[in-house]
Amino acid sequence: MIEALAVDQVLRALGNTFDLSIQPEFLSSQIVISLGLATLAVWSFVTRSTNVASSGKLSVTGELATGAGLFVITSLLALPNAIARWSDFEYAAIAPVLVALTCTPLFPPFRDWTLRGQTSRGKIGQIAMVLIGLAIGYPGWGIWSAMGLLAACAALLLSLTSLIELDDAKANRTGLSLSLGLLLLLEFNIAMGFAFTYPYTVRLMQGMGLPL
């Protein structure tokens, strides 16, 4: 996922910000992609080895947190154009920094540092960093707002990585938890669509982008 976000950011930086996913002609391609992923998931489930220990566990609450975190990342914090608009700062300066921050969880030293800091105080600090970053980013204070949103992105990506690796789930129900988290992500995206793309269809959702 992190690699995909980084590639998307590079393509946007190169000027290819055309959103294929909202074009009607992309539906056939999306069907093929979805069927391919579903087939791969079934094949992976059928051929899985029962002797290999799971690499991590996720509780239901942990995966709901993951779904909500993925929504904030994919709808704002991983989009250089969205950060530039929120912060009222230069896109050209934000894009390369965001690519570097997005890739940080892929490097073992950063991940090890994050895992070592997973005390209760450390987790609260990460959540606080995300919330403070969003609060600083919204008023459009230029470079300060951009730095706040970039810091929030880094904190959220690292916290999601550590959450997946350190969740203290009592039973391994990762499949169920993951499904619930992704359903929550889908619901947030639908709500965001009504808040921004189709505000005239649901009057109640007008201006609800920031609360979401």
Q: Is the pLDDT of residue 51 over 60?
A: no
At residue 147, does pLDDT exceed 90?
yes
Backbone angles phi, psi at 130, to 5 degrees: -65, -50
Q: Which residues contact 143 (CB under 8 A, 6 or more apart)?
A: 87, 89
Handedness of CA 104, 108, 113, 116 (dihedral sign): positive
For 49-59, what is the mean pLDDT? 61
pLDDT at 31 over 90: yes
Q: What is the pLDDT of residue 164?
A: 63
Question: CA angle, 87 as apex, 22 and 158 as ends, to 5°?
Answer: 75
Which has the higher per-residue pLDDT, 1 or 198? Answer: 1
143 — pLDDT class (breaks 50, 70, 90): very high
CA dist 8 and 14 (Å) reads: 10
In this prediction, residues 42-55 reach a mean pLDDT of 71
Is pLDDT above 70 for 71? yes
Please compute, for residue 91, the number of CA atoms within 13 A of its CA located in the half-sphere on the CB side: 12
At residue 56, the pLDDT reads: 61
Report, as an integer, the average pLDDT of 117-142.
83
